[in-house]
Amino acid sequence: MRNPLGSFLSVVTVVGVMLTVVIAKMEVRRLGYSVYRLSQNERLLQDQSRKKTMKFAQLTRPERIENYAQARLELKRAHQGQVIQLVSGRLAFKH
């Protein structure tokens, strides 16, 4: 005759192992969805960063700044001898 307590413990052990496997699979699936969502978010942020970098490059290109200075600020192009540059502590006149 089998021990009823031993049979009960065997059934509880099998059910416990099965529940552990099911919970582990659910956790793997949940983490997979989290990784997927985070990778989508990363892709979106990289795209936004690329767009902002391109916009910055457009806004700071020399031709645009020159046109803005001439049109809105009414600045004129510098004539020869007007620009003075400092080079390593000395004056260097631009001709």
Q: For the chain, how many structural domains are there in total?
A: 1
How far is it, in rounded angstroms, from Cα 94 to Cα 81?
6
**Which domain does 77 fall in, by range?**
4-93
Distance CA 76, CA 61 (A): 18
Q: Residue 86 forms beta bridges with which residues?
A: 91
Split at pLDDT 50, 70, 90, the class of 78 is confident
CB 62 within 8 A of CB 53: no
Alpha helices in 60-94 (DSSP H): 62-71
Q: Is residue 94 predicted with pLDDT exceeding 70? A: no
Give residue-wise pLDDT tens across range 11-58: 999 999 999 999 999 999 999 999 999 999 999 999 999 999 999 999
